[in-house]
Structure 1
Amino acid sequence: MAKRLLVAYGLWALGGPLGLHHLYLGRDSQALLWLLTLGGCGAGWLCDAWHLPGWVAAANGAGGPRRRGEGGVPAPGPLGFAGQVAAGTYLGVLAGLALPGAPAVPLASALGVQLAASAGERTAAAGPVLAAALLAALLCGGRLPAALPASLAAAAAARRHRRCKRPGAPGARLCRLALAYAALAGALAYAVLGRAAAVAAAVLRLPQRAGGLLAHALGFGAGPGPEPLDARRLWAYQVLGLAAGSSAEDVHRSYRELVKVWHPDHNRHRAEEAERRFIELQEAYEELAGPRKAPAASAAA
């Protein structure tokens, strides 16, 4: 079916940051990338208005037949390479913040680079891109700062293993899009429902707390009692080896003792475990100590 420029502009205006105009023109990778980045933080969406006539002509077959193989595929310029690195770093950082697990950063970085590399007529082999991102993240420890080197390695692999896109069957395209949007919707629903559940629990506790306050005011009770500890503070007490509700002095003393035991400079034979425990101790102390800052690592050593 022939694509119409007026329809493309209408979709660009109504749902451009979600990639609707790219979906209409068969540019699925660009549509998913725009959905994940809200139109390239708005800047890419605005720039799309200048390219829509050419994309509509290409979608209608005016651009000529595609060349097969890798030899005739032009390499992305500096701007395209920078866009791939930016997309990979952006998604890698988001994944590292939302899912602190080790594989989250390189997987998300590889996904961002792959989507950016697949915009337009060319694409890249997914296997080498993912392998490069995983290797770079492994060398950097797999943590949040590994998003940039993983994206650089994945973009270099995408440049080396570039190729032309092959037209796929409509059913396969529909299946890929359905899976991609289901995954995105699932992640969004998990975040929204998790926050909604916390709000609902707080709302449901309001009548109980109001009843306790009323009973205390009438002299029938001993007051509302202490606020129950949340899971984060319980975890902090467990990390410091203390019973829930321990005094501030106990918290400080336990932190000073444990941070000496697990300081990375004293555990070079088990550096990775020591670094993890050292960071946990600092986070637990900051959680229980409130606005006070943890003592410097040098002083603890």
Structure 2
Amino acid sequence: MVKSVMVAYALWAVAGPLGLHHLYLGRDNHALLWMLTLGGFGFGWAREVLRIPAYVGEANRDAEERKAPPTVGPPPVGPVRFVGQVCVGIYFGTVALIALNYLSFFYLIILPLCVGAGVHLVSCIGQQTSDLQKTLTTCLITSPIFYGSSLSPLPISLAASVTAAQYRRVKAPRTPGCTPELGGYYDDAWKKVLEILLKEYTEKEKEALKVFSLDAEASLEDITHSYRGLAKTWHPDHNPSKEAEAMFIKIHEAYEVLLQRHKPRRFT
């Protein structure tokens, strides 16, 4: 369906900071970035008043015109894109620093992955993309150098942005059955990142697993089965003692900790 400049401008005016006009134009990466940063902190949304006709023209190209043209090298480095990568990387890292810095593995895993995700998201806007794995590797290498510093998102983001710019490329043409994602089209690296984040346990959760003598690979069904067995063994009605009562409370608290982890974070 042909996209309209007037409709795009109307959506930009009504809900531009939330990326509604980008969703209309099929620019999912851009829309996601705008949702997470409220229109590039307002500046990006205001700048788009001059860019919308170009976005609409790009969306209206037919399948042949959308195919990546043969080039002798990568697309030119855009200063606006580079600055955006640095700023969004810092933003993602700062949010993680505020919310998750209590985790023991934060500076080695969580912070670099968050900064790298922000940088890569910006690098994938429009017709360009970059190498996610190399960007994340740079973040993971740089982060330990600034371990424990509240300013670490800045150098990590700078290093990741330089890497993303170095490995920039035109997106591959869309093919039938292809699933678009943050890197342009399906990229196993994102699944690996999610798996790392979902498998990491806090110290409290690790202690809860020890109560049930289970490892980090245990499923919710394994945890529930173990809980029922231990609860039956240590229930005060079957074992009337202070030790049994204390153990029963400990088992129940451990189960609640693991139940909260599995239910809201289950990824499908």
TM-score for the superposition, normalised by structure 1: 0.54
What stretches of structure 1 of length at least 5 have no aligned partner? 184-301
Residues 174 and 109 of structure 1, relative CA distance in 2, 3 Å threshold: closer
Q: Residues 196-239 of structure 1: CA distance to partner in whole angstroms, max 9, x if unpaired?
A: xxxxxxxxxxxxxxxxxxxxxxxxxxxxxxxxxxxxxxxxxxxx
Partner in structure 2 of residue 14 of structure 1: 14
Partner in structure 2 of residue 172 of structure 1: 179
Partner in structure 2 of residue 39 of structure 1: 39
**Which has the larger share of helix?**
1
Distance 2:175 2:88 in 1: 25
* Structure with greater contact order relative to length (CA < 8 Å, sep ≥ 6): 2
Kindly indicate whether residue 87 of structure 2 is the aligned counterpart of residue 86 of structure 1: yes
Partner in structure 2 of residue 59 of structure 1: 59
- What one-letter code is carried by the residue in structure 1 that aligns with 2:51? H
Partner in structure 2 of residue 163 of structure 1: 169
Matched residue SS, 2:125: coil
Q: Residues 84-140 of structure 1: CA distance to partner in whole angstroms, max 9, x if unpaired?
A: 111111111111111113322211111111111111111101100111111111221
Partner in structure 2 of residue 27 of structure 1: 27
Q: Residues 44-65 of structure 1: CA distance to partner in whole angstroms, max 9, x if unpaired?
A: 1111121111110111117944
Distance 2:28 2:98 in 1: 26
Superposition pairs of residues 1-301 of structure 1, within 5 angstroms: 1-61=1-61, 64-67=65-68, 71-100=72-101, 101-102=106-107, 103-141=109-147, 143-166=149-172, 167=174, 169=176, 172-173=179-180
Distance 1:116 1:168 in 2: 23
Contact map agreement 1:118 1:124 (CA 8 A) in 2:
yes
Distance 1:122 1:150 in 2: 22
Matched residue SS, 1:75: coil
Distance 1:81 1:116 in 2: 8
Percent sequence identity over aligned pairs: 40
Higher gyration radius (CA) = 1
Structure 1 residue 172: deviation in Å?
2.0
- What one-letter code is carried by the residue in structure 2 that aligns with 1:173? P
TM-score for the superposition, normalised by structure 2: 0.60
Residues 89 and 70 of structure 1, relative CA distance in 2, 3 Å threshold: farther
Residues 55 and 155 of structure 1, relative CA distance in 2, 3 Å threshold: same
Distance 1:173 1:78 in 2: 26
Matched residue SS, 1:144: coil
Distance 1:138 1:68 in 2: 40
Structure 1 residue 143: deviation in Å?
4.5
Higher mean displacement: 118-127 or 9-18: 9-18
Structure 1 residue 42: deviation in Å?
0.9
Distance 2:22 2:148 in 1: 33
Matched residue SS, 2:50: helix
Distance 2:70 2:155 in 1: 29
Distance 1:8 1:64 in 2: 21
- What one-letter code is carried by the residue in structure 1 that aligns with 2:112? P
Distance 1:169 1:14 in 2: 33
